């Protein structure tokens, strides 16, 4: 409610407060001090207070709002309508039968949501009540957090978290910086530096802070955590000063102050407008293929339901044409019934039939499916094998809706760095002007040119070269965003600086940088710290060199480089730039490019990550120009990003190449094994990386994505430069198709030795050319198709030089190709988020590049190797389980309702229900619900270990194979067959010849007649036993829990029936079930017919299963038969194909 109000208020303030510019910006008066009258007239806006409302409901609106939300779901709405129809018209079953299950569901959901909301309320209250310190009239006073308003100056001490989004005014540190960890926001535990406004950083006490007189213009709140722009107007001098503000000035609510004694900041976004609150929104919901099939089946059943009702209504009126049938003397209608118009009567009859048969779409199916998914997902979290000791993390399930989708994956898109590889960087070598330096052969600070330096040309560096070399080292020591942490207990990346007084660590969000800075240390140049805007370096002569840090042109994945501008102690200005070779080389004007390029390529082939370093000396005038460019860009609100990028582009040019570095990123443990298993399981693995082709290809070979036998097809800029894209594509597709054309189509499913697999390498530029929407050339539209055709025939594809958005584009392209394959994207970094969100299943790796991927994923695992168990075991199980669950649910409701349909033909289409109300109500809720739920949680058709050992088993369930239409029809036909057996079995026992109890068991009675309720009870008893036994026959994994629920629910049914018929229930207005069940059981023929009918119902299914298994066994079934032998010895599919079921009795 508070949330509603605040959003409403925001809306009002946005649209009513001012017509023009206030939509985009807001003005904040620091300390609520009005700007001097001469200043621009700002329109004072109203801002929400700092109350956080994460709860959805209040005490008053809980019931209406929760009900509304629950009935917004189609299924619930459908059942509500059925219920209302039952209330309004005269229907065969009492409203209780559909009302009770529905309200049970609704109430359970409401209680669950209410409880969750109560927890949220509690949490909100705790947060809103906590005290914060605010500067008022030069004094620090305490306030409840929720009373904080925009413009308040807040005082935050170390290790406290920020109560709202603040602009940093000043900190205890002299340079006006502070360190912050955003662990609870995005999971990145590294310390980030934030900067105070230059003009206010000197105001360090509450009295001083009180003097600050300024206003802040900034954009309206937006959820992007890393974007902020605004500017501050300071009115303290003679002239108002305007400074730009960026995200480095903005302290976000939820982040914690570290390593800094205290800060002062001004609140600019409060309450629900903080970036944290704006990030509450959940991602768009993904739906699994199983759910889609389920919905398709539901539509079929809805059609069956409607057609049943229509048929029966039509037949009813045909049958009733004779008035003596419509209203025989013994069965008169009431006056009002007679007077009702025939159309109304027909419509009412139709609705009544709908109500009678509505159980065919059971409310409990939704509940069971949801419970199964929710509870089932715990098995992923509980899995010991997916726990990583090193990280202390276990698998996380962010959504349980996609469990079964894990068993359907056809395409795996994986990131390389941090996913396939460890992202644990180690500095290997650097190359300066062709001289190669390897750190581990450095003795006593003496640099020795690397012995491995084959490409080395100039072995005796002259003075000029030496200067270059030192410049290179300094460049690497200066051009980074690494921080020095002087504590021992840091979670995150720990790297000790062994020399020096206290042990300290380098911390950075990028492991490459840490590796480089550490490598430099080993080469003699130690980065000490950043103090007062001065970077301190300990050089080889143990002298401290100081450089003033003027500008940082931060790294982004589009530019793929970063730069710093520093002023040396001698006053010289340098721009140091480091980045990917592709982004540096075009900007280089001089330097030994050839040698360095050769070295970079050589390193890339070895799978090392390379960076190039370049510099540019700036004259003071040039620097002025740079400053001007940057300030202008940063002052702009609109298109700031674009302008900044343009400015960077102008600044980072005319560079002089210094050298290159190589950092190794080791493959993750068992990455190769995992990829191999995925391949065997029939999945196509694509590696999407931003790395360069050679590095990526090396990793791919190492991880067995490409094998030596793999024929590599290249689709890169290099090739398209030689030939046109058109030709290359057609040539490749010809190569691939020729091969496949000569082979039988199904060869890919087996493992024939003839099988040649293809690997494709494509780079970002070519890809965008392929994907480019149709140009004037009509052929280009086909490129995508041809490309897809090639990809389809390649077992592995490597896409290198990919921008994050391109990753998502690829996933989307595959997703929407004509087979609509199920895709899975796995990655660890922010650059993978787009593809994780795009793919059917997104998996985050708890890597070192922060937690963004994890936050946006559907599932998160600690390591890449866990993907194997996730897909091959959990995915497989979930799929098997849910498909049985869905099919079984439809089956058991066909069995349930079809006899009622048949009964209509024998009761004059009068909608007389066959079963008693209690049976109608409880059939799905209690008699048959638990066995299938537990089945769908516990079933293991094959042992876990075998699933892991034999990835090919995954192919057995590919393409939603257990929920195809033939199988669905089989289950439905089976249900109809069972229903016919049950109904006509009972019919022939009752028909004509009397079905009587012999009375031998109950001595006082002699000979009784059974009525219609006994008939229904007999059918129902057979039904409950049949469907439960059917499930028992399908269960391959009988734990004590399965035994308990299967036999338990049968016992419950019997006990319930005895009780239900054993007492005259005072609250019921009918006693039709009184002693019916007991009487039935006291009759010998009833027992005999129950046994007979159950046997006859189950017979065809058993026979089908046994015959299929014996004559056309699937791989799964073969393995099941050989289960015990397999568990003890390793086996291959080749052996399995020859072995067979040989279990004798």
Q: Which residues are catalytic?
A: 415
- Closest CB 856 distance from another protein, rounded Å: 12
- Closest CB 996 distance from another protein, rounded Å: 4
- 970 near another protein (CB under 8 A): no
Distance between CA 294 and CA 1118 in Å, rounded?
29
3-state DSSP assignment of residue 193: strand
Q: Which two tokens stand for residue 151?
A: 């413009």
Place of tokens 């002052």: 635
Taking contact as CB under 8 A, which single stretch among the options 17-25, 638-646, 806-814, 906-914 is the one that binds another protein?
Answer: 906-914
61 is in an annotated binding site: no
- 258 near another protein (CB under 8 A): no
- What are the CA-CA distances from residue 1049 to residues 370, 1027, 1042 (Å)? 21, 12, 11
- 114 near another protein (CB under 8 A): no
- Closest CB 85 distance from another protein, rounded Å: 16
Q: Of residues 181-200, which lie at the interface with another protein (CB under 8 A)? A: 183-185, 187
- 856 near another protein (CB under 8 A): no
- Closest CB 1021 distance from another protein, rounded Å: 15
- 912 near another protein (CB under 8 A): yes
Q: Which two tokens stand for residue 1044?
A: 């308990």
Give 434 or 850: the residue with its C-beta nearer to another protein: 850
Q: Of residues 546-605, which lie at the interface with another protein (CB under 8 A)? A: none
- 123 near another protein (CB under 8 A): yes
Say if residues 1001 and 1079 touch (Cβ distance below 8 Å). no
The residue within the footprint of another protein, chosen from 813, 1036, 1048, 1136 (CB under 8 A), is 1036
The residue within the footprint of another protein, chosen from 851, 881, 892, 1030 (CB under 8 A), is 851
- 1145 near another protein (CB under 8 A): yes
- Closest CB 4 distance from another protein, rounded Å: 13
Give 54 or 172: the residue with its C-beta nearer to another protein: 54
823 is in an annotated binding site: no
- Closest CB 309 distance from another protein, rounded Å: 15
Exposed, middle or buried, 773 (CB in 10 Å: 0-12/13-18/19+)?
exposed
Taking contact as CB under 8 A, which single stretch among the options 259-267, 324-332, 765-773, 924-932 is the one that binds another protein?
Answer: 324-332
Say if residues 180 and 195 touch (Cβ distance below 8 Å). no
Distance between CA 969 and CA 964 in Å, rounded?
9
- 1015 near another protein (CB under 8 A): yes
Distance between CA 773 and CA 818 in Å, rounded?
18
Taking contact as CB under 8 A, which single stretch among the options 49-57, 500-508, 634-642, 784-792 is the one that binds another protein?
Answer: 49-57
* Residues near 705 by beta carbon (within 8 Å), at least 6 away in sequence: 675, 685, 687, 759, 796, 798
Q: Of residues 779-838, which lie at the interface with another protein (CB under 8 A)? A: none
- Residue 527's closest CA among 509, 550, 508? 508
Q: Which two tokens stand for residue 277?
A: 């609150």
The residue within the footprint of another protein, chosen from 534, 583, 940, 961 (CB under 8 A), is 940
Q: Within 10 Å of residue 158's Cβ, how many Cβ atoms? A: 15
The residue within the footprint of another protein, chosen from 236, 465, 1096, 1136 (CB under 8 A), is 1096
Q: Of residues 60-89, which lie at the interface with another protein (CB under 8 A)? A: 69-70, 73
* Residues near 904 by beta carbon (within 8 Å), at least 6 away in sequence: 312, 315, 353, 910, 911, 912
- 702 near another protein (CB under 8 A): no
Give 290 or 786: the residue with its C-beta nearer to another protein: 290
Considering only CA atoms, give the Rg of the chain. 37
Q: Of residues 973-1012, which lie at the interface with another protein (CB under 8 A)? A: 985, 987-998, 1000, 1002, 1004-1012
Place of tokens 């498909």: 883
- 243 near another protein (CB under 8 A): no
> Where are the extended beta strands (E) located within 606-674?
608-618, 655-667
Site string for another protein, 885-904 (x = CB under 8 A): --------------------
- What are the CA-CA distances from residue 123 to residues 3, 53, 61, 333, 1072 (Å)? 15, 9, 19, 62, 53
- 54 near another protein (CB under 8 A): yes
Looking at the DSSP bridge assignments, the partners of residue 177 are 195
122 is in an annotated binding site: no
- Closest CB 160 distance from another protein, rounded Å: 10
Question: What backbone phi and psi angles, to 5 degrees, belong to 906?
Answer: -110, 0
- Residue 929's closest CA among 1017, 1050, 822, 781? 1050
- 1084 near another protein (CB under 8 A): yes
- Closest CB 1095 distance from another protein, rounded Å: 6
The residue within the footprint of another protein, chosen from 556, 1072, 1125, 1132 (CB under 8 A), is 1072
- Residue 97's closest CA among 890, 899, 916, 932? 916
Looking at the DSSP bridge assignments, the partners of residue 157 are 262
Say if residues 448 and 441 touch (Cβ distance below 8 Å). yes
- 329 near another protein (CB under 8 A): yes
Q: Within 10 Å of residue 1067's Cβ, how many Cβ atoms? A: 4
- Closest CB 949 distance from another protein, rounded Å: 16
217 is in an annotated binding site: no
Q: Of residues 445-504, which lie at the interface with another protein (CB under 8 A)? A: 491
How many Å from the N-terminal Cα to the C-terminal Cα in the chain? 68
- 147 near another protein (CB under 8 A): no
Q: Known binding site: residues?
A: 415-417, 513, 555, 578, 609, 689-691, 801, 807, 828, 831-832
Which residues sit in the known binding site for Mg(2+)?
415, 417, 828, 832
């Amino acid at each position: 409610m508070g949330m509603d109000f605040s959003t409403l208020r925001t809306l009002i303030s946005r649209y009513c407060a001012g017509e023009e510019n206030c939509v985009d910006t807001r003005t904040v008066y620091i300390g609520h001090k009005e700007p001097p009258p001469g200043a621009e007239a700002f329109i004072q806006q109203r801002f929400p207070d700092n109350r956080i409302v994460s709860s959805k409901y209040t005490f008053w609106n809980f019931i209406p709002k929760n009900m509304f939300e629950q009935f917004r779901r189609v299924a619930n709405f459908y059942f509500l309508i059925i219920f209302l129809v039952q209330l309004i018209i005269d229907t065969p079953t009492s409203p209780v039968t559909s009302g009770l299950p529905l309200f049970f569901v609704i109430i359970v959901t409401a209680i669950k949501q209410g409880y969750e909301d109560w927890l949220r309320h509690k949490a909100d209250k705790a947060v809103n009540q906590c005290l914060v310190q605010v500067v008022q009239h030069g004094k620090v006073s305490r306030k409840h957090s929720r009373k904080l308003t925009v413009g308040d100056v807040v005082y935050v001490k170390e290790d406290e978290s920020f109560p709202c989004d603040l602009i940093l005014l000043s900190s205890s540190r002299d340079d006006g910086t502070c360190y912050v960890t955003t662990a609870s926001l995005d999971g990145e535990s590294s310390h980030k530096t934030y900067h105070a406004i230059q003009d206010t950083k000197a105001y360090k006490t509450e009295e001083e802070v009180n003097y600050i007189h300024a206003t802040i213009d900034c954009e309206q709140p937006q959820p992007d955590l890393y974007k902020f722009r605004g500017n501050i107007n300071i009115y303290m001098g003679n002239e108002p000063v305007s400074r730009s503000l960026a995200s480095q000035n903005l302290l976000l609510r939820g982040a914690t102050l570290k390593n800094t004694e205290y800060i002062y900041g001004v609140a600019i976004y409060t309450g629900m407008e903080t970036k944290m609150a704006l990030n509450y929104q959940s991602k768009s919901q993904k739906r699994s293929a199983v759910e889609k099939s389920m919905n398709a089946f539901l539509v079929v059943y809805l059609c069956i339901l409607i057609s049943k009702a229509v048929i029966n209504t039509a037949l009813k009126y045909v049958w009733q044409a004779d008035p003596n049938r419509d209203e025989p003397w013994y069965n008169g209608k009431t006056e009002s019934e007679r007077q009702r118009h025939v159309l109304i009567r027909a419509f009412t009859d139709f609705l009544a039939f709908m109500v009678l048969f509505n159980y065919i779409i059971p409310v409990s199916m939704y509940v069971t499916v949801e419970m199964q998914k929710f509870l089932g997902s715990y098995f992923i979290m509980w899995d010991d094998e997916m726990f990583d000791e090193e990280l202390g993390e276990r698998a996380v399930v962010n959504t349980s809706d996609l469990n079964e989708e894990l068993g359907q994956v056809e395409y795996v898109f994986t990131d390389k760095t941090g996913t396939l590889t460890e992202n644990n960087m180690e500095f290997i070598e650097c190359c300066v002007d062709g001289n190669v330096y390897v750190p581990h052969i450095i003795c006593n600070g003496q640099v020795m040119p690397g012995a491995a330096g084959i490409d080395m040309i100039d072995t005796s560096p002259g003075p000029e070269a030496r200067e270059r070399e030192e410049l290179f080292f300094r460049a690497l020591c200066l051009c980074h965003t690494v921080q020095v942490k002087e504590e021992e207990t840091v979670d995150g990346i720990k790297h000790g600086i062994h020399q020096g007084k206290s042990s300290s660590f380098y911390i950075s969000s990028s492991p490459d940088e840490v590796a480089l800075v550490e490598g430099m240390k080993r080469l003699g140049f130690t980065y000490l710290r950043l103090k007062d805007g001065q970077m301190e370096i300990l050089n080889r002569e143990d002298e401290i060199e100081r450089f003033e840090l003027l500008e940082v042109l931060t790294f982004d994945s589009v530019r793929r480089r970063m730069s710093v501008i520093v002023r040396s102690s001698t006053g010289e200005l340098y721009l140091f730039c480091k980045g990917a070779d592709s982004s540096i080389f075009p900007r280089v004007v001089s330097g030994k490019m050839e040698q360095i390029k050769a070295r970079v390529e050589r390193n890339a082939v070895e799978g090392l990550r390379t960076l190039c370093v370049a510099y540019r000396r700036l004259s003071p005038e040039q620097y002025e120009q740079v400053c001007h460019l940057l300030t202008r860009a940063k002052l702009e609100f609109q298109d700031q990003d674009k302008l900044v990028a343009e400015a960077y582009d102008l600044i980072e040019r005319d560079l002089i190449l210094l050298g290159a570095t190589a950092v190794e990123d080791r493959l993750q443990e068992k990455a190769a094994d995992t990829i191999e298993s995925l391949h065997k399981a029939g999945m196509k693995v694509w590696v999407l990386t931003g790395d360069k082709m050679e590095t990526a290809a090396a990793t791919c070979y190492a991880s067995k994505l490409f094998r030596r036998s793999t024929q590599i097809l290249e689709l890169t800029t290099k090739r398209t430069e030689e030939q046109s894209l058109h030709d290359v594509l057609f040539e490749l597709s010809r190569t691939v198709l020729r091969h496949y054309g000569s082979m039988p189509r199904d060869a890919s499913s087996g493992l024939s030795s003839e099988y040649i697999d293809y690997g494709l390498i494509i780079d970002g530029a070519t890809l965008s050319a392929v994907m480019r929407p149709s140009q004037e050339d009509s052929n280009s539209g086909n490129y995508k198709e041809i490309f897809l055709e090639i990809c389809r025939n390649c077992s592995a594809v490597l896409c290198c030089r990919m921008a994050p958005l391109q990753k998502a584009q690829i996933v989307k392209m595959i997703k929407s190709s004509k087979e609509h394959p199920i895709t899975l994207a796995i990655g660890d970094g922010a650059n993978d988020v787009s593809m994780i969100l795009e793919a059917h299943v997104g998996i985050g790796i708890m890597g070192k590049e922060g937690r963004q991927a994890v936050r946006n994923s559907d599932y998160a695992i600690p390591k890449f190797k866990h993907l194997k168990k996730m897909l091959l075991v959990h995915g497989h199980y979930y799929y098997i389980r849910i498909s049985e669950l869905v099919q079984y649910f439809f089956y058991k409701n066909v069995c349930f309702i079809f006899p009622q349909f048949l009964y209509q033909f024998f009761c004059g289409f009068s909608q007389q229900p066959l079963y008693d109300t209690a049976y109608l109500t409880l059939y799905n809720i209690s008699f048959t619900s638990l066995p299938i739920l537990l089945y769908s949680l516990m079933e293991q058709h094959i042992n876990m270990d075998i699933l892991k050992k034999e990835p090919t088993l995954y192919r057995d369930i590919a393409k939603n194979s257990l929920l195809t239409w033939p199988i669905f029809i089989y289950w439905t036909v089976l249900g109809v067959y069972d229903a016919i057996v049950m109904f006509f079995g009972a019919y022939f026992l009752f028909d004509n010849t009397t079905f009587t109890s012999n009375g031998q068991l109950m001595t006082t009675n002699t000979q009784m007649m059974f009525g219609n309720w006994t008939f229904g009870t007999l059918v129902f008893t057979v039904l409950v036993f049949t469907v439960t036994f059917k499930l028992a026959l399908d269960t391959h994994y009988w734990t004590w829990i399965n035994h308990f629920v299967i036999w338990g629910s049968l016992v419950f049914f019997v006990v319930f029936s005895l009780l239900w018929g054993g007492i005259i229930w005072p609250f019921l207005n009918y006693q039709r079930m009184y002693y019916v069940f007991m009487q039935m059981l006291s009759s010998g023929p009833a027992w005999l017919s129950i046994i007979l009918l159950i046997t006859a119902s189950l017979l065809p299914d058993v026979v089908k299963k046994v015959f299929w298994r014996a004559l056309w066994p699937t791989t799964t079934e073969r393995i099941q038969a050989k289960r015990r032998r397999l568990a003890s010895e390793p086996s291959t599919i080749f052996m399995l194909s020859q072995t067979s079921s040989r279990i004798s009795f």
